Chains A and B, each alone.
Chain A
Amino acid sequence: MIAGRLEKLQLIVVTGKGGVGKSSVTAMLGRLLSGMRRKTLLIEVDPRENLHHLFDIPPSGGDVVEVDPFLKIQHLEPRSIIDDLVREKLKVGFLVKRVLASPVHQHFTAGAPGIKEAAVFGRALRWLEGHHPRGIETPECIILDAPATGHGVSWLLAAQLVSDVVKSGPIGEMAADVAAFLGDEARSGTVVVGMAEEMPVEETRELIEAMKTRMQRRPEFVVLNALYPPVPDEGTDSEADDFLHDLWIRRRQINESERARLAAVWEGPLLELPLLPMDPGPALVGRLGVELSRWLSRQASGRGGRG
């Protein structure tokens, strides 16, 4: 069922706080989709570029760069997206310069709440519809590694906010299109990433709740990343290093109780990913991919996803 969704969705937004593994999950999903032979573009919107490390390729620096024949990545500065929008809509060179330099643009167009976010989605939508620079293949799916600022849901709600306020003109139209796109279950979906610790679980719970009440949508699935391995049943090993052993048992207990707290508000599919002794890079992404595939086949065979 989830695999079926991943075969069809045009946009997958990966949200969650910083440092919980959003980029790793984005990379893992990217590889999965490219394995399905879907032309996939991963977009990272963040002041710092990270995604390329996970594939061991040079940074994108704003360009579309190839990971494999079906997978590309691109890093974007939110600010440059709005300037691009101005360039696109205003084809006369000296007017572009005037507008970009104008205080009205600096503080109002660029500073108006929500426009940046809406513009990122708007751009994704245009690319999916084939409106992109020549020489680039039209992606079948875009996965957005959303920035960690503020609440994840503010990203998803931005377009709606803009379209409520700006009723006409290209920005208004774009925002309305984006809001409709993000509301369309057949085309777009969200993956929420968190860790099984108190604050991240709290944030994940809030995000799921906000999606429900403010967008009438729910995530495709929720990821609990970096779980300590389960403690074996055979009981404690008296030979083992006591201190490390106790620390592990305790951290695992916290993971389990936080997972239960999340499960109390989320009955949907839950992917658990282990904390792995691996540095960020293709090997880590590959290992996480194996976990994902196993989980997807367990889901498909109806054996649930809780463990």
Chain B
Amino acid sequence: MSGIEHPLQIVVGAGGVGKTTLAAAMALKHARAGERTMVMTFDPSLRLKDALGISEAEASEEVEVPVEGEGSLLVSLLDARRTFDRLVRNYAPNEEARERILSNRFYDHLSGALAGVLEYMASERLFEVSRSGRFDRIILDTPPAQQAIDFLKAPERITGFLDSGGVRIALKPWFDAKGRLRGTAKLGFLGRNVEAFFDHMIGLDLLRDMAEFFQAFAPLFDGFKQRAFEVQRLLRAPDTLFSMVSAPGPHRVADTLHFARRLEEAGHRLGPVIVNRVHPLPEGPVKATGGTREGVALLQWLAQREAEGIEALEDLLAGHHPVIRIPLLPEEPTNLDSLASLGEMISESFR
């Protein structure tokens, strides 16, 4: 890995704070510095795709962005459903198993709704790519979660789920010849009550469908579990560094801090905290008169509040993590150069 520190960088943060743009900016900067770089991303905005010159690219494709010099930049667009489909295709032991899963009426909803699947898929892809040895640097933009922590919990959640009684129960035939719930039969009176309850609540038909789904999925579980384990290891490896992106404003401090703690408690390495889209503080006294007073005063007020928030954050992080301020720019990056200069901005303050 040619002495590169933290070849694996994971960008986390709540939805809408600018993770995707910053991940792309960092990747471009590394690529221009001569590294073979991959950025894996979710849901890039049209503007960002334009800026990268990949507006036509389909999800789950890898697209090359032209970079001058030694380095290279590949953008991989992630999509939960397609990743899931591919996983099924790769792991299903045979055609029949594959078909059973893909045609199960829960599959459609589960691939989106099962807790943590999207996040898990991201780390799963990360593992694949990092093992390939094709890159000096991989930057992973994480899915738009409401809680930044969701991404991290995903592998554990999946392994926990696979180990739980729920799946073991799902894997044995649920229903006996008479169509009764097996797990409850031996419980006698109590079991009949519990079974009657489930039937009453959600209908045994639904349970049957879900059990079917998990049974169809069973042959995949071993591979799945093994990978989840490796992914967890990768996320805690000394080569892996997390960067956290946050919106400015004093009201975000508590959330940001909470997440930083959770990350470290979980044994991950948190690098910088990037506060994005900060209203810049004017240098020196501001002159504004007449009609322009309102807008300029508003910007000043916002700048002041945000500066207070960032100071509080710095105090609370007590120097353990650098806090990087990225200003709200008059123009969102619309081409490679402006994106690269954003990347420069991050790495300069990182030093």
**A residues near B, CB below 8 A?**
17-20, 46-48, 85-86, 89-90, 92, 95, 98-99, 102-109, 111-115, 147-150, 154, 161, 165-172, 198-200, 202, 228-229, 231-234, 236-237, 239-241, 243-248, 250-252, 254, 275-277, 279-280
How many angstroms from the CA of A275 to the CA of B169 in the assembled complex?
Answer: 53
Instruction: Report yes or no: B287 in contact with A241, Cβ–Cβ below 8 A.
Output: yes
Partner pick for B298 among A102, A105, A228, A246, CB 8 A cutoff: A228
Known: A17-B15, A246-B330. A148 touches B146 (CB 8 A): yes
- Supplied contacts A107-B170, A231-B295, A247-B330, 4 more A-B pairs, CB within 8 Å: A89-B200, A237-B288, A237-B292, A241-B286
Instruction: Report yes or no: A244 in contact with B170, Cβ–Cβ below 8 A.
Output: no
How many angstroms from the CA of A66 to the CA of B297 in the assembled complex?
Answer: 36
Instruction: Report yes or no: A19 in contact with B112, Cβ–Cβ below 8 A.
Output: no
Instruction: Report yes or no: A245 in contact with B206, Cβ–Cβ below 8 A.
Output: no
Q: How would you classify the secondary structure of chain B's contact residues: helix, strand, loop or mixed?
A: helix
CB of B202 closer than 8 Å to a CB of A: yes
Instruction: Report yes or no: A247 in contact with B328, Cβ–Cβ below 8 A.
Output: yes
Chain B residues lying within 8 Å of A240, measured Cβ to Cβ, are 286-289, 292, 296
How many angstroms from the CA of A164 to the CA of B313 in the assembled complex?
Answer: 48
9 contacts between A and B (CB under 8 A): A103-B164, A104-B198, A108-B207, A166-B205, A232-B292, A240-B289, A241-B296, A244-B282, A250-B331
Instruction: Report yes or no: B202 in contact with A112, Cβ–Cβ below 8 A.
Output: yes
How many angstroms from the CA of A243 to the CA of B330 in the assembled complex?
Answer: 9
How many angstroms from the CA of A228 to the CA of B279 in the assembled complex?
Answer: 13
How many angstroms from the CA of A275 to the CA of B194 in the assembled complex?
Answer: 54
Instruction: Report yes or no: B289 in contact with A198, Cβ–Cβ below 8 A.
Output: no
Instruction: Report yes or no: A111 in contact with B109, Cβ–Cβ below 8 A.
Output: no
* CB nearest to B296 among chain A residues: A244
How many angstroms from the CA of A28 to the CA of B293 in the assembled complex?
Answer: 27
Identify which of A89, A108, A202 gathers the most chain B CB atoms within 10 Å of its CB. Answer: A108
Partner pick for A198 among B47, B109, B167, B280, CB 8 A cutoff: B47
Instruction: Report yes or no: A277 in contact with B298, Cβ–Cβ below 8 A.
Output: yes
Instruction: Report yes or no: B146 in contact with A228, Cβ–Cβ below 8 A.
Output: no
How many angstroms from the CA of A206 to the CA of B119 in the assembled complex?
Answer: 22
Partner pick for B295 among A48, A95, A103, A229, CB 8 A cutoff: A229
Q: B30-38, B132-140, B300-308: which lies at the A interface?
A: B300-308
Instruction: Report yes or no: A244 in contact with B197, Cβ–Cβ below 8 A.
Output: no
Chain A residues lying within 8 Å of B16, measured Cβ to Cβ, are 17-20, 199-200
Known: A232-B292, A247-B328, A250-B330. A277 touches B200 (CB 8 A): no
CB of B114 closer than 8 Å to a CB of A: yes
How many angstroms from the CA of A233 to the CA of B292 in the assembled complex?
Answer: 10
Chain A residues lying within 8 Å of B106, measured Cβ to Cβ, are 113
How many angstroms from the CA of A112 to the CA of B110 in the assembled complex?
Answer: 8
Instruction: Report yes or no: B147 in contact with A47, Cβ–Cβ below 8 A.
Output: yes
